[in-house]
Amino acid sequence: MSEIAFLIRSLNYGGAERQLITLLKALDKKKFNITVLYFYSGGTLEKDLQDSGIQLISLEKRDRWDIVGFLWRLVLHLKRINPNVLHGFMGTSNLLTIFLKIFFPSTRMLWGVRASNVDLSRYDWLVRLIFKLEWLLSRFADLIVVNSHAGQAYHLAHGFPADKMVVIPNGIDTERFKPDKEARARVRVEWDISEDTILIGLVGRIDPMKDHPTFLKAAALLCKERENVRFVCVGSGLESYANELYRLSEELGISNKIIWAGARTDMPAVHNSLDIAVSSSYTEGFPNVIGEAMACGVPCVVTDVGDSAWIVGDTGVVVGKQNPEALALGWVACLERERSVLGLKARSRIVENFSVKQLVEQTEEVLWLKV
């Protein structure tokens, strides 16, 4: 049995973290003895791996500058585990695998890359520094696993080594994310949404790259044309940025049409409550929320960024980014089609092309090659 360790910042609720949980639960425990090491404890997804046979180790990092003690604990835990493969998951975790090569020369170091077309100017100096260091040190990784073709193209354009990159698309748990009329009704009652009201939703953290302003401006345009429509934003983020969005919805005169639902853990039910799922991002890699909504039989209207158009195929509507008029017209086009038929096609596309089974098979092949 091979020892495989994964290193990630936290197990808080997020697309990359949820994808890791999905992968870990599905990997063959007869082939791999799995350990997850994470910087910060208390993540909402920790409970999802309880009783899974996977060893969870919190490195109890206190803050950004808790470096020496954190690294000492990390090295001690890895010396005890002695993994055949250490799989970093994004940014700092990837960089640490290169530092750890000094102590574990026989361990194969894999990187997990999730982003594409990131506007680094919107982030602080540390994020920009980490990306530059990733570029400089990427040639020392044994393999770089990217979850989107867009992400691969972006990193190749920024000097990452082509011969070390492989694309493994995300997998969607279609047993968890599936059509559920009862869940749909329950959430809509909670939000006071009647069945004859069209509910259009954006699921994603409150972050500039998700482009909530374009979503809100498109919502204001649609409200001028239709009365029976409501909108929901599901996700959390920086309070200061969220407050900007609240003010924008008031300025647009649609604050009574918008539900700010915050972070939710009942995502299959949330997706089922929607009539149209939206991704208005101006940059993406492989957005899980699109695949999850499609698996629930919900048609999607997405911006043409990252792998979004590839995921949706002909089961939804694709529009240009940062264009409220185009997004509103996309919603109208979707509403004018038979949404139940689109929903069935959307689920079939996810089952056939983006299953957890495919994710696991491709990941296990990579892990076996590296042990």
Residues 338 and 363 in one domain: no
- CA pair distance 260, 242, nearest whole angstrom: 10
273 within some domain: yes
Residue 4's SS3 state is: strand
pLDDT of residue 51: 77
Stated pTM of the model: 0.84
pLDDT of residue 119: 66
Q: Do 303 and 359 belong together in one domain?
A: no
Separation between Cα atoms, residue 350 and residue 3, nearest integer Å: 31
- Count CA within 13 A, CB hemisphere, residue 28: 13
Q: What is the mean pLDDT of residues 315-337?
A: 97
SS (H, E, C) 187-217: HHHHCCCCCCCEEEEEECCECHHHCHHHHHH
Provide the 3-class DSSP secondary structure of residue 14: coil
| pLDDT band, residue 339 (cuts 50/70/90) | confident
Average pLDDT, the chain: 93
Q: Provide the residue range defining the domain that includes 363.
A: 2-171+355-370
Measured at the CA of 236, the angle between CA 233 and CA 241, to 5 degrees, comes to 90
Residues 216-245 have a mean pLDDT of 96
Euclidean distance between CA atoms 338 and 318, whole angstroms? 17
For the stretch 271-310, pLDDT in tens is: 999 999 999 999 888 999 999 999 999 999 999 999 999 9
154 and 98 inside one domain: yes
Same domain, 101 and 236: no
Both 349 and 364 in a single domain?
A: no
Query: Based on the domain organization, do 188 and 99 belong to the same domain?
Result: no
The predicted-structure confidence for 165-198, as pLDDT tens digits, reads as follows 999 999 999 999 999 999 999 999 999 999 999 9
* Percentage with pLDDT > 90 across the chain: 78
Instruction: Decide: helix, strand or coil at residue 74.
Output: helix
Count how many domains the chain has: 2
Q: Would 45 be classed as within a structural domain?
A: yes
135-146: pLDDT as tens digits? 899 999 999 999
Average pLDDT over residues 344-359: 95
Percent of the chain with pLDDT over 70: 97
Q: Provide the CATH number for the domain around residue 285.
A: 3.40.50.2000
Based on the fold, state whether residues 124 and 188 are members of the same structural domain.
Answer: no
Mean pLDDT of the 336-353 span: 94
- 134 plus 100 within the same structural domain: yes
Q: Domain check: are 28 and 147 in the same one? A: yes
pLDDT over threshold 60, residue 371: no
Tell me which of 11 and 303 has the higher pLDDT.
Answer: 303
314 located within any domain: yes
pLDDT over threshold 90, residue 327: yes
C-alpha distance from residue 149 to each of 57, 139, 200 (Å): 32, 19, 28
Find out whether 280 and 215 touch, Cβ atoms under 8 Å.
Answer: yes
CA dihedral 10→303→342→176, nearest 10 degrees, is 0
Average pLDDT over residues 3-11: 94
- What pLDDT shows up at residue 122? 65
Judge if 188 and 135 occupy the same domain: no
161, 211: one domain: no
How high is the pLDDT of residue 124?
72
User: What pLDDT shows up at residue 46?
Assistant: 87
Predicted pLDDT of residue 1: 77
Give pLDDT tens digits for 16-54: 888 899 999 999 888 999 999 999 998 888 888 887 889
How many other CB atoms sit within 10 Å of the CB of residue 213? 17
Q: Domain check: are 103 and 125 in the same one?
A: yes
> Edge-to-edge strand order for the sheet containing 198-203?
258-262, 229-234, 198-203, 276-279, 300-303, 317-319
Residue 370, pLDDT score: 54
Task: Determine contact, residues 5/87, Cβ cutoff 8 Å.
Answer: yes
**176, part of any domain:** no
